[in-house]
Amino acid sequence: MRAARFYDQKDIRIEDIDEPVLQPGTGAIDVAWCGICGTDLHEYLEGPIFVPPAGHPHPISGESAPVTLGHEFSGTITALGEGVTDLEVGENVVVEPYIIADDVDTSQGQPYHLSKDMNFIGLGGRGGGLSEKIVVQRRWVHPIGEIPLDEAALIEPLSVGHHAFVRSGAKAGQVAIVGGAGPIGLLTAAVLKAEGLTVYISELSEARKAKARETGVADQVFDPREGDVADKVRELTGGRGADVGFECSSVPVVLDMLLDAVRPAGTIVNVSIWGHKPQVDMPKLVLKEIDLRGTIGYASDHPDTIELVRSGKIDLSKFITGRIGLDELISQGFDQLINNNEHHVKIIVDPRA
Ligand SMILES: NC(=O)c1ccc[n+]([C@@H]2O[C@H](COP(=O)([O-])OP(=O)(O)OC[C@H]3O[C@@H](n4cnc5c(N)ncnc54)[C@H](O)[C@@H]3O)[C@@H](O)[C@H]2O)c1
Ligand SMILES: [Zn+2]
């Protein structure tokens, strides 16, 4: 079968590799669509980061480069291993793409995503969505019912937004300010809107401001060059400020804006994975008793995220900005996202095309 394999920085090859073998406790999946993520771009441009470099096998997967890429994917079950009785051949699914030690409890509510040596399918080994087929442990497979398979490829990044929402403790009726409207900021905003919050977004890029408006994920979109965003948020909240803020830009001035824009005793969830250590204005945090929290990936978020899409509260089709085949991965996928990033939210790949 064909697969996109990461060898090293700027060295991704489309190759023919052996098909994965069904094992007890697993499901075999024909991949339908796989999204390209900012993380994949970082691996390509600056990596290996999550990918275990050649000669340094990951402690759980036992694999190192070359590895198959792709962690945002949907597909159809084609076979079930011994002991898997609660899925059906022909059922459409998404994968929660974790590589986590077998003895870690992954039941509802457990913080399994924080376990030692956690990595991701499609980065740390165990195959990936940028290939025709994959075999995955039962615990990571989530049925999606009637959700179209192309939209379902976006459930993984949407789950990142859902986990950020859960981490914030925000409730329906509250006000949120999201800093940065890239794929993660937009999908976080989509969850917040679907959960009944009033959502404000701050973004610089014209194309992304337009996307935030046209997808309906924001009640208002602000440009920090057109006036102080925190002032605007306060104006709209009777002087109080937002209940929750989400840092989705990895830009220090955005974190600073959020410290100004949230109300006293408000919460800021930092979603960004920073490439450098940012300065945090601690006096602002202290004097307003702001809670600044991290969020990574998802844990038991997939069922609720899938339900938001299945019920029609979130329409993921609006966030798909390109569809390509595997052979075009670099020319029409990575290169587009590197050079024409502002005009894209998600490019999805059909590994069979
Ligand atoms: N915590 C997690 O589990 C998790 C998962 C996936 C991605 N991430 C991280 O989330 C972050 C966002 O990801 P992305 O793919 O959306 O990134 P992105 O770079 O596409 O988006 C960032 C956005 O911020 C905007 N921005 C820049 N400066 C700004 C400013 N001064 N004011 C307002 N907006 C500004 C940019 O124009 C851009 O649209 C990244 O750091 C990524 O690594 C975290
Ligand atoms: Zn991703």
Task: Enumerate residues with CB within 5 Å of ligand 2 (an ion).
Answer: 37, 39
- The structural domains of the chain, with segments of one domain joined by +, span 2-153+315-350, 158-294
| 261-314: pLDDT as tens digits | 999 999 999 999 998 899 999 999 999 999 999 999 999 999 999 999 999 999
Ligand 1 in reach of 57 Cβ (< 6 A): no
Kindly state the percentage of the chain with pLDDT values over 70.
Answer: 100
Residue 82 contacts residue 93 (beta carbons within 8 Å): no
b/e per residue 88-119 (b: at least 16 CB within 10 A): eeebbbbbbbbbbeeebebeeeeebbebeebb
The class (CATH top level) of 158-294 is alpha beta
CATH superfamily of 2-153+315-350: Medium-chain alcohol dehydrogenases, catalytic domain (3.90.180.10)
Among 159, 249, 277, say which to mutate for ligand 1: greatest number of ligand atoms within 8 Å of CB.
Answer: 249
**pLDDT band at residue 89, thresholds of 50, 70 and 90?**
very high
What is the pLDDT at residue 275? 83
Q: Determine the average pLDDT of the residues in 308-322.
A: 97
pLDDT in tens, 101-132: 999 999 999 999 999 999 999 999 999 999 99
The CA distance from 305 to 51, in Å, is: 27
Query: What are 130's two structure tokens?
Result: 């940028």
Question: Among candidates 208, 234, 239, 249, which has minimal Cα distance to 345?
Answer: 208
The rounded distance, in Å, linking the Cα atoms of 147 and 81 is: 25
Does the beta carbon of 164 sit less than 6 angstroms from any atom of ligand 1? no
Q: What is the DSSP letter of 78?
A: E
